[in-house]
Amino acid sequence: MPIRVLLCCLFAVPTAVLADAGEGQFMGYELGTRYGGSTANVEVTTTGNLLIAADNPVKPADIAQVSLIATPESRTIGLIIAASWYATEGEAREAARRYVDLLRDKYPDWALGREAMDASLRIVELSFDKTPHYLQVSLVPDEHDGRSMWRFSMGLGWSALSDEGRAWERQAATEHAAAKATEREQRLKQADIRGL
């Protein structure tokens, strides 16, 4: 009987709560899946991918926004980013320290490394790696709501050298090239190109 109760409790817990970065899951989304939510807040990145403000993230209360980097046509997720903004560097740095400690506790077998420092030799970026994924924590000055603030963010993505990472990059490039070819054809059809 106790085993049945335990199993019922386990299956009653939403899967988003059991999310695991080692499985590619972060903030209610999963790497390699297609984003099917609202695309009301979408920007195009310099590489032609989409930066989407996620509409239904599962996140801690102090995370202000979850964004996704997805391929341009199929909207396949390649990076999940959680961010918050703070008035001072000290507040942002404290949030970053707290989350670094939480990530170390939750993922003790992920390799800690790849630190980046600013001009004052203070750490502003730190990565946790376990192929095929990486978790990156970063701290940067940023503009938010028309004010100068400090942005703390965490991102889960594919390791660049992993098969999954290379496959996502190829898919993104293929979709971007197809979109560009379609745009080019449309421009030519709509333009007066007599004599050109």
Res. 13 pLDDT band, cuts 50 70 90? very low
Share the mean pLDDT of the chain.
85
The pLDDT value recorded for residue 8 is 40
Q: Is there a domain that residue 196 lies in?
A: no
Q: Is there a domain that residue 195 lies in?
A: no
Both tokens of residue 53? 């403000």
The pLDDT value recorded for residue 11 is 38
The pLDDT value recorded for residue 5 is 40
pTM of the model: 0.82
Structural domain of residue 71, as residue ranges? 2-190
Q: Is there a domain that residue 32 lies in?
A: yes
Residue 71 predicted with pLDDT over 90: yes
What is the gyration radius of the CA atoms in the chain, in angstroms? 20
Q: What is the DSSP letter of 143?
A: E
Place of tokens 């979850």: 66
Q: What DSSP assignment string belongs to 2-20? A: HHHHHHHHHHHS-TTTT--
Separation of CA 16 from chain center: 16
Q: Is there a domain that residue 99 lies in?
A: yes
The pLDDT value recorded for residue 94 is 95
Which of 38-42, 69-73, 87-91, 161-165 shows the lowest per-residue confidence on average (mean pLDDT)?
Answer: 38-42
Q: How far apart are CA 129 and CA 3, in angstroms?
A: 36
Residue 1 predicted with pLDDT over 70: no
Number of structural domains (the chain) is 1
Q: Is there a domain that residue 12 lies in?
A: yes
Res. 40 pLDDT band, cuts 50 70 90? confident
The pLDDT value recorded for residue 60 is 94
Residue-wise pLDDT tens digits, 43-53: 999 888 999 99
- CA distance between the termini of the chain: 81
Q: Is there a domain that residue 26 lies in?
A: yes
Residue 34 predicted with pLDDT over 90: yes
